[in-house]
Amino acid sequence: MAEPVTATVPAAPVARPGRLRWNGALIAGTLLLVVTGVVVTIASLTMLESAEGLSPDVAQPASAAHWLGTDDFGRDLLARALVGAQASLLMALAATAISMTAGVLIGTAIWTAPRRIREFALRIVEITVSYPELLVAVVLAAILGAGRWQLVLAVALANIPATARLAANLSGAIHQRDFVTTARLTGVPRRALIGRHLLPNMAEPLLIQLAASFSTGLVAMSALSFVGLGVQTPDYDLGRLLADALPAIYSRPLEVVGPTLLILLLSIGAMLVGDGLAAAADPRVTRRAPSTPRPPVTTRPAREQDSSASPATVEVRDLVVRRADGTPLVHGVSFDIGRGEILGVVGESGSGKSLTALSLSRLLPEGLTAEASRLRIAGTDLLGRPTRRELADAVAMIYQDPGTTFNPALRMGSQLTEVLRVHRGKSPREAREIITGLLEDVHIVDPPRLLRSHPYELSGGMRQRAMIAAALAARPSLLIADEPTTALDVTVAAGILRELARIRDETDTATLFISHDLGVVEELCDRVLVMKDGVIVEELSREQLRSGEVTEPYTRMLLESVPRLSATPGVGA
């Protein structure tokens, strides 16, 4: 009979979903860019004649009529700087858009591509990024020829490798997280995997890279035009204006003030906006409201377990996991798991427990392969080519660290309902109703509030209970719990173990429970496999484990490592 358990959900912060959180850098940068952009746009419409038309007022100094004076052809220098800034601004935006789009797509696609393609692409990116961007832009501009769009293309191509490397590094780190593994297990398409799980968690550094690409692109274009590889006379941009002012820099230094000041203003504005957007994109930067305590909920005792014999749900025969060089890490493992049975797998780190579980979920790390004479879950042959939906229906996982289980950039509601929407064809409303019921089943107080929360707003125990609810949403035949209580305190861990026991008592789900703690296993599991060096050295029933009826010295050592309370001789009761 399961014990009653109480649980509470911390209050979610008061925040309006989808609303941009403004900050000082974002406000300052936006104002600087907007004001500069508006002035430049208005000038290009109203001052074009002053900027390009010839007049008798040649080489005039600064005056009320001409704030920066005129050039040798009588053209107003301030008007030319403002009109030229529009050309530089548009070209920099175009180059940034091309380089960021291509770089991000290349970087993220690398980590969703097959291993050999990935390794080749990473080497190419590393080689290309080793060359200075400006040097590459100079070479490309010389090859493509002078002109506005040739200049845009040269700078964009030169900036792609740096963005691709950043995106690849970010994707590589995120790709190993548990929430991406879960998405792959549930069959999320590659496009959705990139758009929903990779890009949102890369937003901060990518926004900074966006600002840096714009700023460096603007400077690179101005430099190329300055040396004659960009915009050509009679067209002009800020770099071309600086080149034209060079001969008169000692006699009329005001000619360089306008273009230089505009390059500076646009670059600083872009960097401030990038920093501000990076801070605003971080979901953890949220104002919290004082939490309102909620009354605990007491669960009903679970019903008694049906002790009738059940056919095996999981069948594993002669499972071998090898490295790419052929070195075996798991040696000929065989076992069955019946319906409604919890099978424990114990052993030290490196004994092959997790590799055995990952073989059942088809999520082995790259470089490892699994082979077996039989590998089936509820009729699904894992040695064949099961579809993503079949695999998602067959197996679900509860991971070790609840802090990495969920995507920190998304709210819990979209993540918990994903399996129901993708594989069960449920509408968002139906999926939300189903997951709300499952959250109540695992003793979550106020599920709607949890669904509105981000993962970081919840305690470890709440995240782990939510993960159990998400795993049960697909009604899997096999539930794999890979050390689900390691990162939790003792009280919360006890609650999670009671939930797993309740699932055993109330459903037909087979459970594979992985742990190094025999004390936990003997309380929860019906049978126990002891693994050492990739081999099952002993199989025990719960009763044998509790009574210490073991034959292997290794199992005896594990038992003796479990701390137990015992009476001390000479101490009164």
Q: Please report whether residue 40 resides in a domain.
A: no
Are residue 337 and residue 392 in the same domain, yes or no? yes
Looking at residue 564, what is its pLDDT?
Answer: 60
pLDDT in tens, 161-200: 999 999 998 888 887 777 777 777 666 777 777 877 788 8
Bridge partners for 132 per DSSP: none
105 CB contacts (<8 Å, ≥6 apart)?
A: none
Using the predicted structure, report yes or no on whether residue 103 has a pLDDT greater than 50.
yes
Rounded to whole angstroms, the Cα distance separating 432 from 429 reads: 5
Are residue 488 and residue 375 in the same domain, yes or no? yes
Q: What is the CATH number of the domain that holds 367?
A: 3.40.50.300
Q: Please report whether residue 21 resides in a domain.
A: no
pLDDT in tens, 430-466: 989 999 988 988 888 889 999 999 888 888 888 888 8
Using the predicted structure, report yes or no on whether residue 531 has a pLDDT greater than 50.
yes
Are residue 255 and residue 335 in the same domain, yes or no? no
Q: Please report whether residue 451 resides in a domain.
A: yes
Looking at residue 292, what is its pLDDT?
Answer: 36
Lowest mean pLDDT among 204-213, 234-243, 399-408, 453-462: 399-408
Cα 529–chain centre separation = 35
Q: How many structural domains compose the chain? A: 2
pLDDT in tens, 293-336: 333 333 333 333 333 434 688 999 999 999 888 889 999 899 99
> Model's pTM, two decimal places?
0.59
Q: Please report whether residue 396 resides in a domain.
A: yes
Rounded to whole angstroms, the Cα distance separating 260 from 238 reads: 8
Are residue 252 and residue 327 in the same domain, yes or no? no
What are the C-alpha distances in Å from 298 to residues 4, 346, 404? Answer: 6, 32, 29
Lowest mean pLDDT among 283-297, 333-347, 411-425: 283-297
Specify the DSSP element, H or E, that contains 397: strand 395-398
Please compute the mean of the pLDDT values over residues 502-515 and round it to a whole number: 86
Are residue 272 and residue 342 in the same domain, yes or no? no
Looking at residue 345, what is its pLDDT?
Answer: 92
Local structure of residue 199 (DSSP, 8 states)? G
- For strand 535-541 and strand 510-515, is the pairing parallel, antiparallel, or unpaired? unpaired
Are residue 244 and residue 194 in the same domain, yes or no? yes
Please compute the mean of the pLDDT values over residues 137-153 and round it to a whole number: 92
Using the predicted structure, report yes or no on whether residue 291 has a pLDDT greater than 90.
no
Q: Please report whether residue 33 resides in a domain.
A: no
Domain final position from 281, 301, 322: 281
**What tokens appear for 80 in the block?**
């030319």
| DSSP structure string for 236-290 | --HHHHHHHHGGGTTT-GGGGHHHHHHHHHHHHHHHHHHHHHHHHH-TT--PPPP
Looking at residue 162, what is its pLDDT?
Answer: 92
Are residue 454 and residue 496 in the same domain, yes or no? yes
Are residue 177 and residue 237 in the same domain, yes or no? yes
Using the predicted structure, report yes or no on whether residue 33 has a pLDDT greater than 70.
yes
**What tokens appear for 230 in the block?**
């960009």
Give the three-state DSSP class for 19: coil
pLDDT in tens, 339-373: 889 999 998 888 889 899 888 888 888 788 899 99
Lowest mean pLDDT among 84-88, 304-308, 532-536: 304-308
Using the predicted structure, report yes or no on whether residue 116 has a pLDDT greater than 70.
yes
Domain final position from 261, 281, 301: 281
Looking at residue 293, what is its pLDDT?
Answer: 39
Q: Please report whether residue 75 resides in a domain.
A: no
**What tokens appear for 255 in the block?**
């000619």
Looking at residue 186, what is its pLDDT?
Answer: 67
The beta-carbon contacts of 516-520 under 8 Å, at least 24 apart in sequence, are 516/346, 516/347, 516/348, 516/349, 516/353, 516/483, 517/346, 517/562, 518/346, 518/545, 518/558, 518/559, 518/561, 518/562, 519/562, 519/563, 519/564, 520/485, 520/493
Give the three-state DSSP class for 42: helix
Looking at residue 14, what is its pLDDT?
Answer: 35
Using the predicted structure, report yes or no on whether residue 97 has a pLDDT greater than 90.
yes
Q: What is the CATH number of the domain that holds 263?
A: 1.10.3720.10
Phi/psi at 4 (5° precision)? -65, 150
Alpha carbon dihedral 348, 353, 354, 355, in 10-degree steps, equals 120
Mean pLDDT (the chain, rounded): 82
pLDDT in tens, 123-135: 999 899 888 898 9
Rounded to whole angstroms, the Cα distance separating 300 from 443 reads: 10
- Label residue 23 exposed, middle or buried (CB < 10 Å: 0-12, 13-18, 19+): middle
CB 522 within 8 A of CB 545: yes
Looking at residue 347, what is its pLDDT?
Answer: 87
Rounded to whole angstroms, the Cα distance separating 211 from 268 reads: 9
Looking at residue 399, what is its pLDDT?
Answer: 82
Q: Please report whether residue 573 resides in a domain.
A: no
Using the predicted structure, report yes or no on whether residue 396 has a pLDDT greater than 90.
no
- Label residue 517 exposed, middle or buried (CB < 10 Å: 0-12, 13-18, 19+): middle
CB 215 within 8 A of CB 272: no
Closest CA to 396 of 311, 481, 483, 505: 481
CB atoms within 10 A of CB 132: 10
Output 6 or 430, whichever has higher pLDDT.
Answer: 430
For the beta sheet containing 510-515, the strands, ordered from the edge strand earlier in sequence to the opposite edge, are 395-398, 478-482, 510-515, 342-346, 527-532, 535-541
Are residue 248 and residue 332 in the same domain, yes or no? no
Q: Please report whether residue 128 resides in a domain.
A: yes
- Residue 275's domain comprises 82-281
Using the predicted structure, report yes or no on whether residue 519 has a pLDDT greater than 50.
yes
Are residue 339 and residue 425 in the same domain, yes or no? yes
Output 278 or 228, whichever has higher pLDDT.
Answer: 228
Are residue 344 and residue 258 in the same domain, yes or no? no
Lowest mean pLDDT among 150-154, 165-169, 237-241, 301-305: 301-305
Are residue 490 and residue 389 in the same domain, yes or no? yes
